[in-house]
Amino acid sequence: MTETEIAPLLRFFKALAHESRLRLLGFLAQRARTVQELASLLGLTEPTTSHHLGLLREAGLVTLRVEGNLHWYNFEPSELAPLAKSVLSRQNVAHWAAQARAEKPDRQIQNYLESDGRLRLIPASRKKRYPVLVWLAAHFDLDRRYREAEVNQILQTRYWDSATLRRELVGYRMLTREKGIYWRLPEEEWLTSEPLTR
């Protein structure tokens, strides 16, 4: 997921991560209201209320209608469904889980890491190697294509023998390739036992 794709989600969560903004949405879900009315209901100043409403507008949760000197705000529920669908999509959840694994390897993997985060060695047994490969696969975005040189470069940030790691990732169907282009497969397609013939 790119920064451009993440930006609307960050705005959405930032907008909802405050008690006053949640209360504002509650009042606006009942009917359209003015800044003055909302400030009075919340016990806040009008500038503070306007600031909160601005963040809700940026997230697409509130619309503004100007009538003379009055600014009417209205809750926009139609924005919630696509945002929720995007936030909770299987692809996004898998991506965030993978990113978390890449950034903070579990204890089993840490046993094989130097202090700088590079692998000391590739575990010999398949059982011990598999979690290391899962951790390495998390370094690749699900929706991106990589040239072989890029795959090698990413893997070499973790271990010098990128060719072996690349073959293992392909063998376990964590990565696949076609005409020199590689991409990560969804986790449900990964092998969990002996890899296929490479």
Answer whether residue 60 shows pLDDT above 70: yes
Q: Give the pLDDT confidence score for residue 110 in this predicted structure.
A: 80
Closest residue by Cα to residue 119 from 165, 151, 81: 165
Q: Please give the Cα distance from 116 to 110 (Å, whole number).
A: 11
Q: Is 190 helix (H, G, I), strand (E, B) or coil?
A: coil
Domains of the chain: 3-81 (1.10.10.10), 90-189 (no CATH)
Q: Please give the Cα distance from 154 to 116 (Å, whole number).
A: 15
Q: Give the pLDDT confidence score for residue 161 in this predicted structure.
A: 95
pLDDT digits (tens, 9 = 90+) for 9-20: 777 778 888 899
DSSP 141: -
For residue 173, give both structure tokens: 């169907």
Answer whether residue 188 shows pLDDT above 80: yes
Q: How many helices (H) and strands (E) does the chain have?
A: 10, 6
Q: Which pTM does this prediction carry?
A: 0.50
pLDDT digits (tens, 9 = 90+) for 139-150: 898 878 999 999
Residue that has been written with the tokens 């969990």 in this structure: 192
User: What's the mean pLDDT in 14-31?
Assistant: 89
